[in-house]
């Protein structure tokens, strides 16, 4: 049943996102073309406009992805469509798992499309050199390669979005247990859950700071962040976000399995 | 074993008690009218049976088991609102039902929809509300279920459509299955009912065999209802 649910959830999500993916890649290609044409004032302006549109499309994909996932979650599990969803011979765990997997897959694909758009629009030897200059010290600190560091940054970024998304799901689940003003409470609880995860992350960084003076300097001095700090913070971010993803998943599942109250 | 059993079932919203200590049994092979005025708890009871609401206390058993996957396989439910994904076409919805319900008869559904002159490639969003409701009825009645629960299937429709709805229900439910029809339009469905359940202010006021009730009161179910719940 999970496969079938996933099929319909993914179809519904990608149907909308596909338009933004196409637009993003299209403007990425246009940016590349106009930047590569011999420089003239007009071409330069067109290239910059295309570049701006590409960047806004990238943000659009992220925001759209999140909003669509929340919207589908609400409509499918608490809106009119829930009258069908909850009467399917599928247990609550599978229903919730399908939503989470859909979120993970769509976020993953979105990040790939974003990376691809950036690559198409801005790939050049000079830009690669700039990235290398920025990331090389970090890569050295990790005893790693720039590519691996790029993947680590994308992974943190992915975890952060997954965390925001799941906090929203928690908000919707708790908000819809109330009798009135369900949407308002959903937003409020979602925000509160997200803030709690952020405070816990900060607390963990502070605790690490008790054993690492570089990290503690982050809280009590105006020193510029150094490579050692970034290294530890990335590690902590990955650990905390991964733990919080699992914790929120199990809390949400428990709340969801207790039953729903559809209007 | 009874097909459906509600034991001391209660549902509250905050301090407001909507259903109070409902005890109810639904046998196999009967058409039962769940009758009551508007806002008396009919839909709440139906939503509880369909796992759309969580009981405040009490139990619901279907074939002796609590509500879950197994009960959903044998209950075919028609809510009073349109619940289909409006971006889908009719044939996609049929495929959806086919995918999830083993007991869904897609050939029957297609035949009934073609009888309604519906183009199967039509998008649901392009259909009128009345047509969407008919589509839902066809989908629900195309399942070979043990229990059909129809919430206000006659609400807000013209007499000709009412006849179509009743005819579709009567000619398509599985042999030996039970049908619960919730309505306040008693005179329209009285002739097809085997049993009635009167519900008022969240309580079951009466559950009786239709013929017995008619003989006892020497009047139609509609008249008994009107007398009992006179404002």
**Hey, which residues does B31 pair with through a beta bridge?**
B179
Chain-centroid distance of CA B197 in Å reads 13
B66 touches chain A (CB under 8 A): no
| CA–CA gap between residue A198 and residue A218 (Å, rounded) | 16
A84: which chain B residues are within 8 Å (Cβ-Cβ)?
83-84
Nearest chain B residue to A82, by CA: B83
* Contacting residues of B for A88, CB less than 8 Å apart: 72, 100-101
Structure tokens given for A177 = 């247990």
Minimal-distance CA residue of chain B relative to A257:
B54
Residues of B in contact with A179 (CB under 8 A): 13-14
CA distance A254 to chain B (A): 14
Q: How far does B81 lie from chain A, in Å, by closest CA?
A: 7
pLDDT exceeds cutoff 80 at A214: no
Nearest CA of chain A to the CA of B135: how many Å? Answer: 14
Identify which of A95, A117, A75, A129 has the alpha carbon closest to the alpha carbon of residue A5. Answer: A95
CA A3/CA A153 separation, integer angstroms: 31
- Name the residue of chain A whose CA is nearest to B54's CA: A259
Nearest alpha carbon to residue A252 among A140, A195, A143, A177 = A177
Residues of chain B positioned with their CB less than 8 A from the CB of A15 = 87
How far is B41 from B55, CA to CA, in rounded Å?
13
For residue B123, which phi and psi values (nearest 5 degrees)? Answer: -75, 145
- All residue ranges of chain B with pLDDT < 50 are none
Distance from CA of B120 to the nearest CA of A (A): 19
- Please compute, for residue A70, the number of CA atoms within 13 A of its CA located in the half-sphere on the CB side: 23
How far apart CA A12 and CA A15 sit, in angstroms, is 5
CB contact under 8 A, A80 and B82: yes
pLDDT band for A189, please (50, 70, 90 cuts). very high
Segment A244-249 mean pLDDT: 89
Contacts of B96 in chain A (CB under 8 A): 8
Q: How far is CA A172 from CA A63, A191, B108, B160, in A?
A: 17, 11, 38, 42
Report pLDDT digits (tens) over A100-131: 999 999 999 999 999 899 989 888 888 888 88
Q: Read off the pLDDT band of A224 (50, 70, 90).
A: low
Distance of alpha carbon B206 from alpha carbon B36, whole angstroms: 11
**Contacts A9 to B, Cβ<8 Å:** none
Provide, as residue numbers in chain A, all residues whose Cβ is less than 8 Å from the Cβ of B66.
Answer: none
Q: Do A83 and B83 touch (CB under 8 A)?
A: yes
Which residues of A fall within a CB distance of 8 Å from B85? 12, 81
Which of B99, B3, B183 has its CA nearest to residue A84?
B99
Q: Scanning every residue of chain A, which has its alpha carbon at the shortest distance from the alpha carbon of B68?
A: A91
Residue-range domains of chain B with CATH: 4-228 (3.40.50.300)
Tell me how close the Cα of A86 comes to any Cα of chain B, in angstroms: 7
Candidates A6, A89, A185, A263: best to mutate against B (most CBs of B within 10 A) is A89
Which residues in chain B are closer than 8 Å to A16, comparing Cβ atoms? none
Nearest to A9 by CA among A83, A89, A105: A105
The backbone torsions φ and ψ at residue A63, rounded to the nearest 5 degrees and listed phi first, read -65, -45
Q: Are B100 and A82 a contacting pair at CB < 8 A?
A: no
* Chain A residues with at least one Cβ partner in B under 8 Å: 1, 4, 8, 12, 15, 80-84, 86-91, 179, 258-262
Q: Searching chain A, which residue's CA lies closest to the CA of residue B15?
A: A179
Q: In angstroms, what CA-CA distances link A125 with A51, A128, A131, B176? A: 18, 5, 10, 75
CA-based end-to-end distance of chain A: 26
Nearest CA in chain A to B79: A83
Helices (H), chain A: 2-36, 41-77, 82-85, 92-122, 125-142, 146-175, 182-209, 213-220, 227-257
Taking Cα atoms as reference points, which of B178, B93, B163, B171 lies closest to residue B132? B93
pLDDT for the residue A20: 92
- CA A206-A157-A22 angle, to 5 degrees, is 165
What pLDDT score was predicted for residue A225? 66
What region, left, alpha or beta, does residue B165 occupy, with left being phi > 0 and alpha being psi -120 to 50 degrees? alpha
Size of the A and B interface in Cβ pairs below 8 Å: 62
Q: Which ipTM was obtained for this model?
A: 0.89
The dihedral sign for the CA sequence B77, B83, B88, B89: positive
Q: CB neighbours (10 Å) of residue B149?
A: 26
pLDDT digits (tens, 9 = 90+) for A61-85: 999 999 999 999 999 999 899 999 9
Question: What are residue B145's phi and psi, to 5 degrees?
Answer: -95, 165
Residue partners of A208: CB distance under 8 A and separation at least 6: A215, A232, A236
């Amino acid at each position: 049943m999970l496969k079938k649910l996933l099929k319909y959830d993914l179809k519904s999500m990608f149907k909308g996102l596909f338009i933004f993916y196409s637009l993003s890649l299209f403007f990425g290609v246009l940016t590349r073309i106009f930047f590569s044409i011999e420089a003239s004032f007009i071409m330069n302006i067109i290239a910059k406009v295309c570049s701006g549109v590409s960047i806004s499309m990238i943000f659009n994909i992220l925001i759209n992805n999140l909003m669509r996932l929340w919207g589908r979650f609400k409509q499918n599990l608490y809106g009119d469509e829930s009258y069908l969803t909850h009467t399917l011979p599928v247990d609550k765990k599978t229903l919730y798992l399908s939503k989470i997997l859909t979120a993970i897959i769509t976020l993953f694909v979105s990040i790939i499309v974003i990376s691809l758009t950036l690559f198409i629009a801005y790939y050049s030897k000079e830009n690669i050199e700039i990235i290398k200059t920025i990331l090389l010290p970090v890569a050295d600190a990790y005893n790693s390669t720039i590519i691996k560091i790029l993947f680590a940054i994308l992974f943190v970024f992915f975890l952060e979005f997954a965390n925001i998304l799941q906090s929203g799901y928690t908000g919707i689940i708790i908000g819809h247990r109330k009798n009135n003003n369900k949407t308002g409470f959903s937003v409020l609880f979602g925000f509160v859950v997200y803030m709690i995860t952020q405070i816990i992350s900060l607390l963990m960084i502070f605790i690490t700071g008790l054993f690492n003076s570089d990290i503690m300097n982050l809280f009590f001095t105006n020193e510029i962040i150094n490579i050692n700090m970034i290294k530890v913070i990335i590690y902590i971010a990955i650990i905390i976000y991964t733990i919080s993803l699992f914790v929120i998943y199990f809390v949400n599942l428990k709340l969801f399995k207790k039953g729903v109250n559809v209007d | 074993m009874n097909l459906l059993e509600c034991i001391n079932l209660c549902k509250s919203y905050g301090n407001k008690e909507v259903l109070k200590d409902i005890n109810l049994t639904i046998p196999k092979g009967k058409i039962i009218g769940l009758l009551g005025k508007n806002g008396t708890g009919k839909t709440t009871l139906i939503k509880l049976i369909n796992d759309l609401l969580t009981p405040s206390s009490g139990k619901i058993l279907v074939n002796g088991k609590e509500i879950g996957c197994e009960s959903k396989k044998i209950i075919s439910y028609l809510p009073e609102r349109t619940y289909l994904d409006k971006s889908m076409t009719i044939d996609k919805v049929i495929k959806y039902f086919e995918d999830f319900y083993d007991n869904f008869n897609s050939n029957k559904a297609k035949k009934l929809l073609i009888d309604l002159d519906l183009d199967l490639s039509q998008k649901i969003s392009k259909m009128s509300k009345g047509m969407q409701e008919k589509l839902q009825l066809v989908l629900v009645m195309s399942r070979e279920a043990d229990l059909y629960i129809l919430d206000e299937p006659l609400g807000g429709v013209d007499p000709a459509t009412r006849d179509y709805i009743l005819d579709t229900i009567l000619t398509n439910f599985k042999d030996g299955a039970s049908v619960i029809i919730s309505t306040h339009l008693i005179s329209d469905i009285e002739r097809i009912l085997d049993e009635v359940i009167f519900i008022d202010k969240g309580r079951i006021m009466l559950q009786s065999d239709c013929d017995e009730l008619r003989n006892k009161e020497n009047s139609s179910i509609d008249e008994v209802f009107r007398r009992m719940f006179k404002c």
